[in-house]
Amino acid sequence: MSVHGASNALVRAETAKEFAADVQYYLTLNPRQLPSRYLYDALGSALFDAICRLPWYGITRTEARMLEAHGREVFDRLDRVSTIVELGSGDGSKLRLLVQSGAPRTRPLTIHLVDVSSAALTSSARTLSELDDVAIVLHETTYEAGLDDLGAQPRPAGRRLAVFLGSNIGNFDAPGADEFLRAIRRGLALGDGLLLGADLVKPEDVLQLAYDDPLGVTAAFNRNLLVRINRELGGDFDLEAFEHRAIWNAAASRVEMHLAAKRAQRVRIRAAELDVQFETGERIWTESSYKYEPGQIVAMLESAGFQCAAQWIDDVDRFALTLVQAK
Ligand code: AVJ
């Protein structure tokens, strides 16, 4: 195995400034918001890993089981894969499962990992280094920049397979998802593949427990965003004064996470030059997790320039893996 870093220093240097600018912009919108990508600092990522182990949050376990069960079929439908690109690498264990169960004979294999988090890249690379005869290339950058990098590189023989797992697509609203899927499509050539893992609509009580768990881990994950603003941007949020809310918005088919002010208060954030007055019950919308019907996933992919090759559905745990090809 070999690991090459293609890390982008420019992207990293801009992060603090961008965070301040985004907090200033989104926190003064009506309703107040914060982009969900900022949930994942080191502590936030550790809390998300804990969420994945909660008995009430099934996405990770169900998807891993499905990758193991259907991995072989993925590489049967999409033959001659020589390059896999994982967007948002997590800890690498799902991709290892997919390759182990599905691509035992596909060598040589190059795996590109694209993630803004160097911690995620390091742990993924370590997990994937257990595979034999695989070259790993790290891209410490945004999905979009990583896709551009890749689109510009000379293509080895064989197909590319892009992999976007964990229902991360669910953080995008419909126009955002369309734009993102089109960006993936641009990084691929005709006949290349995309494997998408997406969570399906399920009963409200199940969703409620998944996003507001009895151990309070999801609440901590959400409230950590305020801890991060306090630390990195000189904010003075009183942690005790905000509570986690998870709301199923049936009309929009999404679970929303919010932070609700328990009392009226004023918050200052020095680096964002902000002075915000919260009323009692006023909320900050921190995340959306869209839930889909299987046909909707196919339609969304088809309109972004793909053709469905296969879809696997777990009807008990309500999750879909969809394999498409660039058309
Ligand atoms: C990583 C975006 C897929 O929406 O289910 C978990 C994040 N938020 N619990 C999701 C999350 C609250 C997760 N995604």
pLDDT per position as a tens digit, 79-106? 999 999 999 877 899 999 999 988 767 7
SS3 157: coil
Please tell me the predicted confidence (pLDDT) of residue 283: 98
Checking if the pLDDT of 8 tops 50, the result is: no
Residue 168 beta carbon below 6 angstroms from any ligand 1 atom: yes
Quick check: pTM over 0.75? yes
Q: Whose CA is nearest to atom 4 of ligand 1?
A: 289
* Confidence at residue 154, expressed as pLDDT on a 0 to 100 scale: 85
Q: Residue whose CA is closest, atom 9 of ligand 1?
A: 211
pLDDT value of position 57:
98
| Mean pLDDT, rounded, for 126-144 | 91
| Average pLDDT over all residues of the chain | 93
> Where is pLDDT greater, at 1 or 172?
172
Q: Is the pLDDT of residue 13 over 80?
A: no
User: What is the pLDDT at residue 133?
Assistant: 87
Q: What are phi and psi of 34, to 5 degrees?
A: -140, 135
Tokens of 91: 């800890």
Q: pLDDT-derived band of residue 10, with 50, 70 and 90 as boundaries?
A: very low
| Order of strands across the sheet that contains 306-314 | 2-5, 134-140, 109-115, 81-87, 159-164, 193-199, 319-326, 306-314
Residue 289 near ligand 1, beta carbon < 6 Å: yes
For ligand 1, whether the C-beta of 166 sits within 6 Å is: yes
Banded pLDDT at 142 (limits 50, 70, 90): confident
Mutate to test the pocket of ligand 1, among 36, 48, 169, 288 (most ligand atoms within 8 A of CB): 48
pLDDT of residue 148: 86
User: 108 alpha carbon to ligand 1 midpoint, in Å?
Assistant: 33
Ligand 1 within 6 A of CB of 45: no
**What is the Å distance from ligand 1's center to 154 Cα?**
34
- CA dist 237 and 239 (Å) reads 6
Band of pLDDT at residue 308, cut at 50, 70 and 90: very high
Out of 129-133, 185-189, 217-221, pick the least confident: 129-133
The string of pLDDT tens digits covering residues 283-296 is: 999 999 999 999 99
Atom 10 of ligand 1, nearest CA residue: 289
Q: Is the pLDDT of residue 1 over 70?
A: no
| pLDDT of 318 higher than 90 | yes
- Would you state the torsion angle of the CA atoms of residues 198, 183, 81, 303, taken in this order, to the nearest 10 degrees? 60
Among 39-43, 177-181, 271-275, which stretch is predicted with the lowest mean pLDDT? Answer: 39-43
287 CB near ligand 1 (under 6 Å): yes
Task: Indicate if ligand 1 lies below 6 Å from the C-beta of 51.
Answer: yes
Ligand 1 proximity of 170 Cβ (cutoff 6 Å):
yes
167 pocket-lining for ligand 1 (C-beta < 6 Å): yes
CA of 59 to the centre of ligand 1 (A): 9
Which protein residue has the closest C-alpha to ligand 1 atom 12?
211
Question: What's the pLDDT score for residue 290?
Answer: 98
> 224: Cβ below 6 Å to ligand 1?
no
Region 261-286: what's the mean pLDDT?
A: 98
**Residue type (1 letter), 303:** S
Whole-number pLDDT of residue 158: 92
